[in-house]
């Protein structure tokens, strides 16, 4: 499953070689790329690959990268998506500067070029409906049939096209087609549709237009208008390249960009089609496009992934031309690698179980200095409080432990991280036999090490939080949204592979005191539990909500 595309690092991918050659040969003086999202959904981790490639090439070759909204279909596009896309690109750490464009800003020019093609007898108004057109189109082995409207006069075409523009006809009544070749082996050249009628309000140009250019008619010409030198897209556009070039050859465009394709990112345990992501939102399977389990950039940002980690991931997977799958664990490992370096450590108890230390004087508090990062003294220290009543994690106590259990059990001993060794002396239960609290005794000689006063070594070290100083918090344990590596595989409904345990919400958690007023941006390693960060939407002062960003270790690969 996990064929890792750990090919060339960005320093020498094939696109770099092409650009290098173009600059050396003088074909181009500077490199101009673009990232061209359609604002019909939120960006996802796949888009991050494209963003890193396009903005990264411009950065490294001293050129520029445009952000262009490919907004040719008002039926699906919304301002909310435009805003979220800008936020996502910025979050990833890229800046388009003054180069923010909309394909819809070129609608007038594109319209003029459509009329130009009509006058050149290279475009015509088609009255056949979509089904009839499909029937005429032929197959890969059979030529298509020419439309009865293909040889309309220039005047009639211009008249009909202008009336389409004026809004005289309902949606779908007519289209404008290029007049290329109904027998072309490449189906994209069999008189492709250039314009369709859509009566809808457009998020950027409002109600100005009743006809909208198809993606293919807008994309290359937009590149040409902006002086894009290298138009980099994913492999599924390879078949469209002859059409891209046909427009550039047959229109008086101001420049001649070139299209290059690379393999899109496929990631296991998730879906990336915007239609499916939209469906997850609409059906309420997730809380929104920015649900921390979503592969959207707004989702992983909210979850607490860092832009540094996402960029490192995009670097690591490289840029190639062959389709491959990247295992989710690679992305998670990039997040861990970043947070292991930068996240201060803290203690948090997620499923609290009280431990009363009977030989510790009531009311006495010891302040203990704890390192924020075991390998990085420069990250400083903090104070943790030791007192008579502390919380430990329910998972760290078992009454009848299996062999090899080194945490707490009745009569057993364990080291409290930064604190003392305690011995569990008893369990208090309610009438139904549920454990209410534990009792224990500490060993005063054991503060600094893992040896008891009489020299025995304790095997287990557990985390804990002083009850009197604890901050109450909600913690959300996120896991992968799907439990199958390829929920998107053909035919089956991807929703049947949803992971029923993709989130567990724990509302009784106890955090060490210092986390009461922690900065929302700080990711912590909760010792032994994973990396966590406050949820930027739901966390409030006095009632923090923490998201688990990623576990400490990969728990999936072994499964
Ligand atoms: P849809 O999911 O509707 O097919 P899309 O993901 O192609 O849409 P666009 O807004 O057209 O969405 O994508 C913008 C750019 O991002 C395009 O250049 C596209 O090639 C690129 N892109 C999209 N998905 C991926 C991916 N998985 N890996 C790399 N690049 C991608
Ligand atoms: Mg697309």
Q: Return the domain boundaries, the chain.
A: 14-105+216-331, 108-213, 345-550
Residue from 234, 239, 241, 326 to probe ligand 1 pocket by mutation (most atoms less than 8 Å from CB):
234
| Nearest partner of 336 among 500, 513, 548, 520, judged by Cα | 548
Q: Which two tokens stand for residue 330?
A: 């690679």
Q: Are 38 and 67 in contact (CB under 8 A)?
A: no
More confident residue, 247 or 457: 247
Of 35, 39, 47, which is best to mutate to test ligand 1, by the most ligand atoms within 8 angstroms of its C-beta?
47
What pLDDT was estimated at residue 69? 98
Nearest CA to ligand 1 atom 8: 274
pLDDT tens per residue across span 228-246: 999 999 999 999 999 999 9
Ligand nearest to the CA of 36: 1
User: Of ligand 1's atoms, which has the minimum distance to the CA of residue 50?
Assistant: 30
Catalytic site includes residue 156 = no
Closest of 104, 112, 90, 126 to residue 38, by C-alpha: 104
Residues 331 and 316: their CA atoms lie apart, in Å, by 9
Ligand 1 first shell, C-beta below 6 A: 36-38, 46-47, 49-50, 233-234, 264-265, 272-274
pLDDT at residue 11 in the model: 54
Helix (H) or strand (E) holding 403: none
Given this model, what pLDDT does residue 124 score? Answer: 98
Nearest CA to ligand 1 atom 14: 37
CATH homologous superfamily of 14-105+216-331: HUPs (3.40.50.620)
| Ligand 2 centroid – CA 56 distance (Å) | 20
- Ligand 1 centre to CA of 197 (Å) is 25
Name every residue whose Cβ is closer than 8 Å to that of residue 436 and which is 6 or more positions away in sequence.
354, 428, 429, 430
345-550: same fold as 14-105+216-331?
A: no
Closest-approaching ligand to the CA atom of 266: 1
Given the residues 38, 146, 389, 437, select the one marked as catalytic: 38
Least confident of 267-276, 305-314, 440-449: 440-449
Which ligand is the nearest neighbour of the Cα of 273? 1
| 108-213 CATH | 3.90.800.10
Supply the pLDDT for residue 559. Answer: 54
Select which of 145, 264, 276, 382 is catalytic: 264
Span from the CA of 431 to the centroid of ligand 1 (angstroms): 59
Could you read off the pLDDT of 482-512 as tens digits, one per residue? 999 999 887 789 999 999 999 999 999 999 9
- The residue-averaged pLDDT of 21-48 equals 97
| In the predicted structure, residue 558 carries a pLDDT above the cut 70 | no
**How far, in Å, from the CA of 39 to the mean position of ligand 2?**
10
Q: How many CA atoms lie within 13 A of 459 on its CB side?
A: 8
- Residue of 22, 64, 455 lying closest to 260 (CA atoms): 22
User: Is residue 278 over pLDDT 50?
Assistant: yes
Instruction: Tell me, in angstroms, the distance from the centre of ligand 1 to residue 295's CA.
Output: 13
Atom 13 of ligand 1, residue of closest alpha carbon: 37
Distance 548 CA to ligand 2 centre (A): 32
pLDDT of residue 4: 35
Task: Report the pLDDT averaged over residues 164-183.
Answer: 98
- Higher model confidence: residue 492 or residue 290? 290
What pLDDT digit, counting tens, does each position of 47-102 carry? 999 999 999 999 999 999 999 999 999 999 999 999 999 999 999 999 999 999 99
Determine the pLDDT at residue 355: 98
Q: What residue owns the CA closest to ligand 1's atom 4? A: 273
Cα 161 to ligand 2 centre (Å): 27
Q: How far apart are the CA of 305 and the centre of ligand 2, in A?
A: 25
Is residue 7 pLDDT above 60, yes or no?
Answer: no
Angle at which helices 154-165 and 107-119 pack, to 10 degrees? 160
Task: Provide the CB-side half-sphere exposure for 217 (13 A, CA).
Answer: 29
Relative to the CA of 37, which ligand 1 atom is closest? 10
Atom of ligand 1 nearest to the CA of 236: 20
Whether residue 422 is predicted with pLDDT greater than 50 in this model: the reply is yes
Q: Is the dihedral of CA 187, 189, 190, 193 positive or negative?
A: positive
DSSP secondary structure letter of residue 491: S
Q: Of the bound ligands, which one is closest to the alpha carbon of residue 234?
A: 1
Task: Report the pLDDT value the prediction gives residue 555, as an integer from 0 to 100.
Answer: 83
Which residue, by CA, sits nearest to atom 3 of ligand 1? 274
Ligand nearest to the CA of 274: 1
Atom of ligand 1 nearest to the CA of 237: 20
Closest atom of ligand 1 to 267 CA is 27
pLDDT, tens digit, 9 for 90 and up, residues 190-203: 999 999 999 999 99
A 10 A CB-CB count for 2 gives: 13
Pairwise CA distance, residues 529 & 532, whole Å:
9
Task: Spot the catalytic one: 179, 190, 274, 345.
Answer: 274
Mean pLDDT of the chain: 95
- Whether 423 is catalytic: no
Average pLDDT over residues 202-206: 95
CB atoms within 10 A of CB 337: 14
Q: Whose CA is closest to atom 27 on ligand 1?
A: 46
Q: Which residue has the tokens 């009489």?
A: 454
Beta strands in 48-162 (DSSP E): 64-69, 100-102, 123-126
Fold of the domain spanning 345-550: Ribosomal Protein L25; Chain P (2.40.240)
pLDDT at 10: 46
Q: Is 264 a catalytic residue?
A: yes
Q: Which pairs from 93-96 meet CB under 8 Å and 24+ separation?
A: 93/307, 93/311, 94/51, 94/55, 94/65, 96/65, 96/66, 96/67
> Cβ neighbours of residue 530 under 8 Å, at least 6 residues apart?
548, 549, 550, 551, 552
Q: Which atom of ligand 1 lies at the shortest distance from residue 49's CA?
A: 29
Whether the pTM exceeds 0.85: the reply is yes
Give the ligand whose atoms come closest to the C-alpha of residue 38.
Answer: 1
37 CA to middle of ligand 1, Å? Answer: 7
Q: Quote the ligand 2 centre to 119 CA distance (angstroms).
A: 31
pLDDT exceeds cutoff 60 at 5: no
Q: Which two tokens stand for residue 451?
A: 């040896």
Mutate to test the pocket of ligand 1, among 35, 46, 65 (most ligand atoms within 8 A of CB): 46
Q: Atom 25 (ligand 1): residue with closest C-alpha?
A: 46
336-355: pLDDT as tens digits: 999 999 999 999 999 999 99
**CA-closest residue to ligand 1 atom 22:** 47
* Cβ contact 47:37 at 8 Å: yes
């Amino acid at each position: 499953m996990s064929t890792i595309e750990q090919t060339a690092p960005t320093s020498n991918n094939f696109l770099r070689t092409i650009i290098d050659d173009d600059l050396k040969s003088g074909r181009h003086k500077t490199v101009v790329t673009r990232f061209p999202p359609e604002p019909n959904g939120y960006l996802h981790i796949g888009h991050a690959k494209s963003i890193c490639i396009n903005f990264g090439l411009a950065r490294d070759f001293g050129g520029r990268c445009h952000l262009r909204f490919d907004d040719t279909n008002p039926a699906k596009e919304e301002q909310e998506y435009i805003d979220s896309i800008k936020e996502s690109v910025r979050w990833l750490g890229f800046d388009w500067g003054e180069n923010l464009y909309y394909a819809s800003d070129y609608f007038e020019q594109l319209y003029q070029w459509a009329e130009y093609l009509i006058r050149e007898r290279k475009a015509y108004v088609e009255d056949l409906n979509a089904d009839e057109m499909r029937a005429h189109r032929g197959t890969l082995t059979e030529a298509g049939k020419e439309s009865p409207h293909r040889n309309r006069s220039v005047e009639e075409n211009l008249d009909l096209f202008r009336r389409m523009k004026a809004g005289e006809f309902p949606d779908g009544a007519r289209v404008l087609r290029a007049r290329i070749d109904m027998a072309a082996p490449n189906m994209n050249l069999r008189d492709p549709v250039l314009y369709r009628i859509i009566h809808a309000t457009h998020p950027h140009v409002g109600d100005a237009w009743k006809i909208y250019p198809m993606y293919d008619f807008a994309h290359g010409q937009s590149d040409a208008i902006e002086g894009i030198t290298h138009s980099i897209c994913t492999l599924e556009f390879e078949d469209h390249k002859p059409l891209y070039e046909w427009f550039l050859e047959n229109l008086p465009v101001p420049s001649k960009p070139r299209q290059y394709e690379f393999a899109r990112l496929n990631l296991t345990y998730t879906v990336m089609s915007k239609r499916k992501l939209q469906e997850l939102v609409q059906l309420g399977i997730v809380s929104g496009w920015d649900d921390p389990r979503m592969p959207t950039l707004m989702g992983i940002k909210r979850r607490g992934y860092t832009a540094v980690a996402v960029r490192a991931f995009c670097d690591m997977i490289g840029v190639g031309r062959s389709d491959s799958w990247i295992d989710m664990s690679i992305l998670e490992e990039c997040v861990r690698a970043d947070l292991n370096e930068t996240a201060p450590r803290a203690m948090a108890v997620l499923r609290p179980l009280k431990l009363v230390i009977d030989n510790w004087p009531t009311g006495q508090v010891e302040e203990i200095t704890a390192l924020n990062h075991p390998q990085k003294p420069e990250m400083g220290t903090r104070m943790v409080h030791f007192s008579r009543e502390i919380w430990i994690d329910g998972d760290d106590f078992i009454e009848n432990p299996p062999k090899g259990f080194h945490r707490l059990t009745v009569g057993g001993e364990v080291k409290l991280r930064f604190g003392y060794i305690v011995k569990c002396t008893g369990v208090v239960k309610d009438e139904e036999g549920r454990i209410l609290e534990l009792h224990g005794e500490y060993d005063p000689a054991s503060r600094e090490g893992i040896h008891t006063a009489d020299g025995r070594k304790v095997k287990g070290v557990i985390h804990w939080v002083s009850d009197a100083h604890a901050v109450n918090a909600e913690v959300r344990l996120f896991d992968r949204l799907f439990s199958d590596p390829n929920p998107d595989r053909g035919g089956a409904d991807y929703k049947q592979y949803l992971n029923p345990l993709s989130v567990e919400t724990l509302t009784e958690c106890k955090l060490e005191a210092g986390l009461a007023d922690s900065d929302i941006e700080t990711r912590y390693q909760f010792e032994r539990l994973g990396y966590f960060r406050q949820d930027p939407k739901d966390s409030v002062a006095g009632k923090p909500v923490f998201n688990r960003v990623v576990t400490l270790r990969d728990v999936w690969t072994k499964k």
